[in-house]
Structure formats: structure tokens, C-alpha cells
Amino acid sequence: MRHRSGLTGRRVAVLLCCLMVGGCTSGESRSAALLAQVDHLVYATPDLDASINELEHLLGVRATPGGRHPGWGTRNALLALGERTYLEILGPDPEQAQAGAASPFRVAQLQAPRVLTWAARGTRLDRLVEDAKHRGLDLGAVSSGSRRRPDGGLLSWQLTDPAASRLDGLVPFFIDWGDTPHPAGTAAQGCTLVELRAEHPEPDLVRDMLRAVGLDLPVRPGAAPALIATIKTPRGVVELH
């Protein structure tokens, strides 16, 4: 039985089913390989506090406050989805209202929350960008970023340009945390990412671009671009769009 729950106008399906554990098929192997490459999902929202409350009701876990992104006009909260995977709930920061337009995710322009894009793990990002360019995919320039956690700890990273054109966010940007402790370690625990897939009007185009960076994200035909995350939670298995 499938239960549908509106989350600020977004379709979220709660699947009342069990995850079956058994022999690993080739499809399951591909899914596991993809999940091992997912660093985090970006759930962008025009109202961070409202989305934290809504997701707590839906998933049964309250997100941990993250921090502010200076210059981007955003702040976040985090939910661990695995040992080194997490959901980033990203919204406008009222204390940086003047910087809101600088956010590569345009959160201030959103009408409703959604899984906007995702980040894949990467190392030697300059080389990765060059290799992708030779295969026809422009990931943009590599830059550095940082933010402070509420406890004062500093997180720093390198990433490819999240504002680069990446087929409506279905092709990920890449991030390298270097020696920084991974944010999933201090994020709220209790949820696990079990599947990530996409929909797009031109699925073959998306698959070709993903192959350029060695990723095998399932892409199905769809009326509009969408990322769908299947998450095992204390309240059942949830599809988050």
C-alpha cells in the first residue's frame, strides 16, 4: 500500500514495505556502487525552519543545525544517510539577505522544497574536470569553501562549480573534504539512503553525461527533470522528490 503525503506542495510517497535482504543481483551491485559515490543530496527550500519541521514529521528524525555559507546567503541543516552520506537541507539565511542572489542553488527563488541536485565524492578535482571536459561535460572551475559548525568546528572543502550547467542538477557536482571530518559523522542519525534515481525528458542525454564522469545513475523518461531518493527511516521507507 502506498501513502502519499504533501510536503509543502511536493509529492512524497511513504512506501509501507520491507527491504528484502538476499542475493545481490547485477542491478543491486550497480545500485550499491552508485550509493558509494553519493556524498550528499541537496534538498533546497525557501524556508529552512519549516522544512526541518516537515522532514522531522515525515522521516522521524530532526535534522542537526549545520551552519552558514558566507557570501552565498544560505544556511543548512543535516541528516545522515549513511556513514559518509547525508541530506543537506539548504535554505536562505536571513542574516545574509543581501547575499541571497549569490547562491548557486537560487534557494530564494524556489516556490517549494525539492531534491535539487546531488554531490558525488571526488579527489584530484582539477584532473577530474579536465577529463570530463574531454568527454564533452563542463563541470566548471574548482574552488574552495568553508563554514563553521555551531560548535565552532571548521569544515573546509574543494568542489567543482555547483552553478555549472549540469542538466538541471541531475549530473552532480563533485566535492573533496580532504582532511576535514565528514559532516555525516555529526549529523542526526537514523536514516539510510537505499536508492537514488532520476527522471528527465531526454534520459539518454543524461545517461551519456553521467558516463562521462563514471556514474551509473538510473534515469527514466519523465515529463520534467527530477531526482528521487529512497530513504529507509524510523517511519518506514520514504521517497523524497
Provide the pLDDT confidence category of residue 15 given band limits of 50, 70 and 90.
Answer: very low
pLDDT digit string, tens, across residues 113-131: 999 999 999 999 999 999 9
Q: How many angstroms separate the CA atoms of 219 and 233, rounded?
A: 24
Would you call 216 helix, strand, or coil by DSSP?
A: coil
13, containing H or E segment: strand 10-15
pLDDT above 70 (res 9): no
pLDDT above 80 (res 72): yes
For residue 104, the model assigns a pLDDT of 78
* Own/partner long-range contacts of 15-23 (Cβ < 8 Å, ≥24 apart): 15/230, 15/236, 15/237, 15/238, 15/239, 16/236, 16/237, 17/236, 17/237, 19/194, 19/232, 19/237
Residue with cell 542491478: 27
User: Is 55 buried (19+), middle (13-18) or exposed (0-12) by CB count in 10 A?
Assistant: buried
Model pTM greater than 0.95? no
For residue 240, the model assigns a pLDDT of 98
pLDDT digit string, tens, across residues 73-100: 899 999 999 999 999 999 998 888 665 5
Q: Are 60 and 158 in contact (CB under 8 A)?
A: no
132, containing H or E segment: helix 125-134
